[in-house]
Amino acid sequence: MGITGWFNRQRIRQVAAGADAIPKVLEPIVISLPGSGSTTERSSPLDTPKIELSSPFDSEETLTLEKRPEFGRLASWRGGLILLVTSGSQFLDNVFMTSANVALSSIQEEFDVSSSNLQWMISAYTLAFGGFLLLAGALSDRHGRKNILCFGLFWLSVWTLAIGFGQSFIQLTIFRGLQGVGAAMTVPSAIGIISSYFTGTDRTRALSIYAASGTLGFCAGLIVGGFLTSSLGWRYIFYFIVIITGLLGILGAIVLPRDVHAERTTARMDYFGAILSTAGLILLQFVLSGGGVYGWSQPFIIVLLVLCVALLVGFILLEKYISNPIMPLPLWKIRNFAGLWIAGFTGYGSYQNVIYYIVLMAQQVDGLSAGDTALRFLPMGAIGFVVSLGTGKALEYMNGKYLLLAGMVLTVVAPIPSAITSSPETTFWVNVLPTSLISISAVSLIFVTTSTVILTTVPVQVKSLCGGMLNTAFQIGSGVALAISAAVTEAVDIEKGHGIAQQYATGLWCSAAIGGVGLIIALLAVRRKGINPSDRTGEPVAL
């Protein structure tokens, strides 16, 4: 069954159940004429609701338009402010990820945390972020993207402030996990708002700016985290960021387009599927993070891995047989959807793996401080911003497959300079900078292309869900890439007593291999048909 057929069946069920009921054929339309006591009655062959015009100032056109989605232009005050809120949420998500990385040493010193436990300050955020993305996407499409985005920013503000006042490492870890839940609410709802409010080339440009804001957030997180940690202290990172999240939430409540009930999914919520998917994804993230720390042969890691596989398999089987799935399986039958998802999975996973190793290389091999590391990564942010905007512009003229393949080729190439030159005798400008610039170019091409192509080929009712699914690919891909690299590095280098420079080189070669797998899949599974510029210039699809 195709995706169109599936959604049509859901529409029939909703009408039969009384949700958004439609009057019978030939039902009279009663119109009260202003200034008279009479009415005019006529029959229509269409399924049209009753409309009463009780005032000279009311019109049928006005009442109809109030039920339609809002569309707008990027080159307007309203469009610019909407893009500021949505892109600002993406910016903050990346700031949260990278600023905490730079502050880890100070947090470890203050709370006397072991190196093996320190990584949970980062993992708690990514666990919650990746695990709740699918559920957040479904909630956005069901309860309104504006509602979920504003609530997510409010939730972020509360727990960001709580981290700043945390009195123990356990508190920080818990608060970071709750912060990740808020970040998960903002991503799919922001993507859904952009892809529904803007149309044609405006949508493509808005998505490219949204992606560019992520690369800016990555570098801003390093800079803000580095300078605040070395001056005022790590707690001021969160005191400063909470001001931005609060202001964005208030602005979003004012300027974001209203939620249109007709766009939402009104069937009963698949609560059991939501529980299975969220629990399975969180367990998967935990196993991928914990396997490298505690060892893959540990019994509890093996048990949790089996449990997580069982939960995810059970989720897929459930979605196949119920009438109101949280993740409609026909989405995977949309042309290029699966290929683009896998490309995002491998491309973003390889990128995050590269970033993990080159940041460590800058500090532990090249001996740079947090502030010096942040300054040297500034060119990376600038290049990422330019490439993201350039990719959005190129999508207006080029087939998306070519840009995706270019990004995947760069993903394979990016780790090689650092892997070859990793040595205490070299400097940042030789063993880190080239890889950083190539890797940010690669992920910018991949992120903008996959987001734009996927979100312009799915029905409007599931745009936020698909945005959540795509970002789930990014998050899980990051965990898988780090787990593979950690396992290989452990077997090849750590057990043989090799130095950290050699360990990081091995991890980078793993990144190149993961990118190579993604390149082959993108080459074979993504077709040119359906992702030309002419296929992305229409109005949003509505069923």
pTM: 0.75
Regarding whether 131 and 109 lie in a shared domain, the answer is: yes
pLDDT of 114 above 80: no
In a domain, 330, yes or no: yes
- Amino acid making up residue 343: A
Regarding whether 255 and 127 lie in a shared domain, the answer is: yes
Regarding whether 251 and 236 lie in a shared domain, the answer is: yes
Q: How many separate domains does the chain show?
A: 3
Q: What is the pLDDT of residues 234-263, one digit of tens each?
A: 898 889 889 989 999 999 999 998 775 545
Among 55-69, 110-124, 208-222, 524-538, the range scoring the smallest mean pLDDT is 55-69
State the Cα–Cα distance between residues 328 and 119, nearest whole angstrom. Answer: 35
Can you give the residue range of the structural domain that contains 464?
77-269+326-536
Q: What is the pLDDT of residues 375-434, one digit of tens each?
A: 888 888 788 888 888 888 888 888 888 999 999 999 999 999 999 998 888 889 998 999
- Map 216-247 to HEC letters: HHHHHHHHHHHHHHHCCCCHHHHHHHHHHHHH
Average pLDDT over residues 501-506: 90
Regarding whether 512 and 388 lie in a shared domain, the answer is: yes
Give pLDDT, residue 52: 39
Encode 271-296: b = buried (16+ Cβ within 10 Å), e = exposed.
eebbebbbbbbbbbbbbbbbbbbeee
In a domain, 381, yes or no: yes
Regarding whether 209 and 111 lie in a shared domain, the answer is: yes
Regarding whether 113 and 207 lie in a shared domain, the answer is: yes
Regarding whether 243 and 176 lie in a shared domain, the answer is: yes
Average pLDDT for the chain:
78
Give pLDDT, residue 293: 65
Regarding whether 89 and 43 lie in a shared domain, the answer is: no
* Residue predicted with more confidence, 43 or 202: 202
State which H helix or E strand residue 422 sits in.
none
Q: How many degrees, rounded to 5, is the angle at CA 375 between CA 374 and CA 380?
A: 80
Q: Residue 476's domain is classified under what CATH number? A: 1.20.1250.20
pLDDT of 99 above 50: yes
State the Cα–Cα distance between residues 258 and 197, nearest whole angstrom. Answer: 10
Regarding whether 155 and 124 lie in a shared domain, the answer is: yes
Regarding whether 330 and 237 lie in a shared domain, the answer is: yes
In a domain, 4, yes or no: no
* Residue predicted with more confidence, 108 or 264: 108
pLDDT of 186 above 80: yes
Which residues lie below 8 Å from residue 189, measured CB to CB, with a gap of 6+?
136, 140, 145, 146, 148, 149, 152, 464, 467
Q: What is the pLDDT of residues 119-178, one digit of tens each?
A: 677 778 877 887 788 788 878 877 888 999 999 999 999 999 999 898 888 899 899 989
Q: How many degrees, rounded to 5, is the angle at CA 474 between CA 164 and CA 163?
A: 5
Residue 66 in 3-state DSSP?
Answer: coil
Regarding whether 367 and 479 lie in a shared domain, the answer is: yes
